[in-house]
Amino acid sequence: MHEYSIIQSLLNNCEENAGQNGSTKVTKVVVKIGVLSGVEPDLLRIAFDTFKENTICHDALFVINIQKVVIKCKTCGSTSTLEKHHYCCPLCESIDIDILDGEDMYLMQLELQ
């Protein structure tokens, strides 16, 4: 379960950001997880709840936003958000595509106190 190591890194990042901003408490943590990131949102939430206790995030609300796959078609130039795991352009059905979003996990927002 690599979600545990991801959360450890996230909590360290939260503590570092809070310290740099003179804050003593994190009240909200918002992350964006791409469907192709390999991160399991339910396991990430469990890991956050497990490891936050003795940190600056002990009372923080943890918000997970799921990012669908966004592609750009190299054939017709359109940008599309895929609703299914069918990796082709929904307009021209070309498989010559670039994935623009949906592969990564990002810390999007911290609310500090």
As given in the structure block, the two tokens for residue 26 are 């994190």
Contact indicator for 47, 10 with CB cutoff of 8 Å: no
Q: What is the pLDDT of residue 16?
A: 95
pLDDT at 70 over 80: yes
| Extended beta strands in the chain, E state | 26-34, 61-67, 70-73, 79-81, 97-101, 105-112
Q: What is the pLDDT of residue 1?
A: 55
Q: Over the stretch 6-32, which tens digit does the pLDDT of each residue have?
A: 999 999 999 999 999 999 999 999 999
Residue count of the chain, please give it: 113
Q: Over the stretch 43-60, which tens digit does the pLDDT of each residue have?
A: 999 999 999 999 999 999
CA 26 centroid distance within chain: 18
Boundaries of every domain in the chain: 1-66, 68-106
Percentage of the chain exceeding pLDDT 90: 92
Whether this model's pTM surpasses 0.85? yes
Task: Give start and end residues of each alpha helix (H) in the chain.
Answer: 3-20, 41-51
Task: Say which CATH topology domain 1-66 has.
Answer: hypothetical protein PF0899 fold (3.30.2320)
